[in-house]
Structure 1
Amino acid sequence: MTGREDSKENDLFFTCSLIDYIARKTKNKRADIVNALGKARVSKIYDLADVYHSDNLDRVSEDFIESAEIKDGTFDSVANTKYSVPSHWDIGKVFKRLILGIAREKHMDVIDALFEAYNSFVSSKIEDFNSSFYYDAPQNILNAYLDGRIE
């Protein structure tokens, strides 16, 4: 461990932030991006995050958009936001914490937990920047996922 957190947690943070960056850039939902990238590409991003993190994020995102043939969509979570827009880094951190919680609670591999998180109802709540859900405590977001509802 170097720095404030485990290096693989930081790799997951980068992976989630890149997913969010691509979603915003292509105007797609985060689940659509994860599913279009597929397990092999997401695993590659996660495994090589320390290398990709050193590169230009726009170029890295373009490479994955092209290789996964991601088309522009119509979901614009930024344009529809009435309040302060969280950065792709902010949302990456929210998803990282959720994924780590799912992996821990369900005894899953991180990549499998990532697909679970992004394909759950919680993902659409997080990407609604007009709600305050993404600001909730990480444990509350995890509990919503585990309980299958938001209280």
Structure 2
Amino acid sequence: MKNNSALFYACSLIEFIGRERKMKRSELVQILGEKTIRQIYRYADVFHCEPIAKTADDFITNLNIPEGTFDNVAFCRYEVPDYWTIGEVYERLIEDISGDDEAHIVARLMEVYASWISDAISNYNTDFYYQSRDYICECYREGKVCA
């Protein structure tokens, strides 16, 4: 299951909303919940027809997503990766740990965002987020950034 466009869109939308609401992605995924994430994943091809900012605003408004204090974009000392880039990092990791098990893709997504690796990916002052997908996957499996 490589290049899952619905997963890519779902992860990119989570990143976009997280930046808009200044929330850790793990907190945002908890607020969105499995039902909403499943809806985003299932209808990604429909949501993708609208500008991502509008889709994000609809979810922010309808779910009353609060504003937090986590602003990793403001604290970035270097070039900020766009939300599509970070969405792709998550997509690849979730694909790699899921293999061909598409039935549990939303559960894997929630596991990844709830894990330590979400903070590592969100730290744009390191080079972690642009490491190879194999390296990021191995770090996830090891439960730490590998030397």
Work out whether the TM-score is over 0.5: yes
Q: Distance in 2 between matches of 1:28 and 1:12?
A: 20
Read off the aligned partner of 2:20 and give its amino acid letter: K
**8 A Cα contact 1:102 1:117, kept in partner:** no
Query: Would you say 1:89 and 2:73 are equivalent positions?
Result: no
1:80 is matched with: 75
Q: Distance in 2 between matches of 1:143 and 1:105?
A: 18
1:46 is matched with: 41
* C-alpha distance 89-107 of structure 1, shift in aligned 2 (>3 A): closer
1:107 CA drift (Å): 8.6
1:131 CA drift (Å): 0.5
**Comparing 30-39 with 98-107, which one deviates more in the overlay?**
98-107
Q: Distance in 1 between matches of 2:87 and 2:67?
A: 21
1:110-147 Cα distance to aligned partner (Å, 9 max, x none): 10110011011011000000010001100111111111
Which of structures 1 and 2 has the larger relative contact order (alpha carbons within 8 angstroms, sep 6+)?
A: 2
* C-alpha distance 108-148 of structure 1, shift in aligned 2 (>3 A): farther
Q: Which runs of at least 4 in structure 1 moved beyond 3 Å after TM superposition? A: 105-108
Q: Distance in 2 between matches of 1:87 and 1:62?
A: 18
Q: CA RMSD in A?
A: 1.9
The 3-state SS of whatever aligns with 1:109 is: helix
Q: Which runs of 5+ in 2 are unaligned?
A: none
Q: Distance in 2 between matches of 1:42 and 1:8?
A: 18
* C-alpha distance 7-43 of structure 1, shift in aligned 2 (>3 A): farther
1:59 is matched with: 54
The 3-state SS of whatever aligns with 2:99 is: helix
> Which of 94, 97, 106 is the equivalent residue of 1:99?
94
Q: Distance in 2 between matches of 1:17 and 1:129?
A: 16
> Which of 103, 113, 118 is the equivalent residue of 1:118?
113
Aligned-residue identity in percent: 37
